[in-house]
Amino acid sequence: MPREIQWTDAEEIGIQLQEKYPEIEPYTVRFTDLHKYVTELPGFVGDPMKSTEPGLEAIQKAWYEEYEDAKGL
C-alpha cells in the first residue's frame, strides 16, 4: 500500500508524477490539470479543496527537478 501523501509532500508528489507521466514537461501543465494529476495519485489523502497556488507551484517545481534528472538536463 502506498504511503499517504498530502499537498505538502511536494517532493514525493514530484517523484510520483514523473514516474506516472514521464513524457510531460511539467511547466507546460496548467494548474487545473496538475490538481487533477495529484488528486489521482495512489496514496493521496489530502483534501482536494485545500490546494493552494504556492503549493501547486512547489509541486510543479519538484516535478520539474525530477523531469530534469530523468532527461539528463
At 17-49, the pLDDT tens digits run: 999 999 999 999 999 999 999 999 999 999 999
| C-alpha separations of 6 from 24, 49, 60, 65 in Å | 22, 12, 15, 19
Report pTM. 0.93
Q: At residue 3, what is the residue type?
A: R
- Going from the N-terminus, what domains does the chain have, and what CATH number goes with each? 10-71 (1.10.10.600)
* pLDDT value for 73: 75
Helices 31-39 & 10-20 angle (0-180, nearest 10) = 90
